[in-house]
């Protein structure tokens, strides 16, 4: 574990190698979570997402035409939720888990700005397995980008105006990439 690194532009804080048990967590969550490939409906076409996902916690989540009913907390996710609460200084009640099977799996530009996340959501992003590039770009100046390599055990806290002013993505890569798990802990609020 090393000191947290602040990214003031995005109101983010990276906690490098914050999880000493990252390798074990990766193996168990890969085997034990209920991974599914969801299908998006865009302009009437059904498009399988380029990754697997699973939604756990206390609330239903709806985004991009998909509604995810929550599963009961897996004990390892409940423990990570509490560790993220300590790091972020704020509580979480749900988590979106994503499994990137290889370099062809990805997540396209978006912000986590659904109304159900409240006005200035704090999101804790836990990274396990292979390191992948994580990019952010400003919505009003798409040439302005920030990039970080998120490796196993790294935790990135995004807060403040991050989801208003910035989009983020995990690009595909042609380099060989072994599997990666990302967990974004969120707090769904009543609206």
Ligand X SMILES: O=C(O)CCC(=O)C(=O)O
Q: Which residues bind ligand X (CB under 6 A)?
A: 96, 98, 107, 112, 125, 134, 150, 168, 170, 182, 184
User: 52: which strand partners?
Assistant: 99
17/123 Cα distance (integer angstroms):
18
CB of 68 to ligand X, least distance (A): 12
- Nearest residue (CB) to Mn ion, 26 versus 125: 125
3-state secondary structure 42-59: ECCEEEECCCEEEEEECC
Alpha-carbon torsion (121, 35, 29, 70), positive or negative: positive
Q: Is 38 in the site for Mn ion (CB under 5 A)?
A: no
Q: Whose CB is nearest to Mn ion?
A: 112
* CB closest to ligand X, residue no: 182
Smaller CB distance to ligand X: residue 44 or 62? 62
129-188 binders of Mn ion (CB under 5 A): none
Write the DSSP symbol of residue 71: B
* C-beta closer to ligand X: residue 79 or 136: 136
Q: By CB under 5 A, is residue 114 in contact with Mn ion?
A: no
- Is residue 112 involved in binding Mn ion (CB under 5 A)? yes
Interacting span for Mn ion (CB under 5 A) from 39-47, 58-66, 105-113, 144-152: 105-113
Binding site for Mn ion (CB under 5 A): 112
């Amino acid at each position: 574990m090393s000191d947290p690194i602040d990214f003031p532009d995005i109101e983010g804080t990276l906690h490098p190698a914050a999880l000493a048990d990252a390798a074990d967590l990766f193996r168990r969550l890969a085997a034990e979570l209920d991974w599914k490939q969801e299908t998006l409906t865009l302009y009437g076409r059904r498009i399988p997402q380029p990754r697997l996902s699973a939604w756990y916690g206390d609330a239903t989540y709806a985004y991009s035409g998909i509604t995810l009913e929550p599963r009961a907390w897996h004990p390892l996710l409940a423990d990570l939720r509490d560790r993220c609460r300590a790091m972020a200084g704020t509580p979480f009640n749900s988590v979106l888990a994503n499994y990137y099977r290889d370099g062809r799996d990805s997540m396209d530009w978006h912000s986590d700005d659904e109304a159900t996340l409240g006005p200035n959501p704090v999101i804790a992003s836990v990274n396990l397995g292979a390191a992948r590039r994580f990019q952010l770009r400003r919505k009003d100046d798409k040439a302005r980008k920030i990039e970080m390599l998120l490796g196993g055990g790294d935790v990135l806290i995004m807060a403040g105006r991050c989801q208003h002013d910035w989009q983020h993505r995990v690009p595909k890569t042609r380099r060989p990439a072994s599997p990666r798990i990302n967990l974004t802990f969120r707090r769904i609020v009543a609206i």
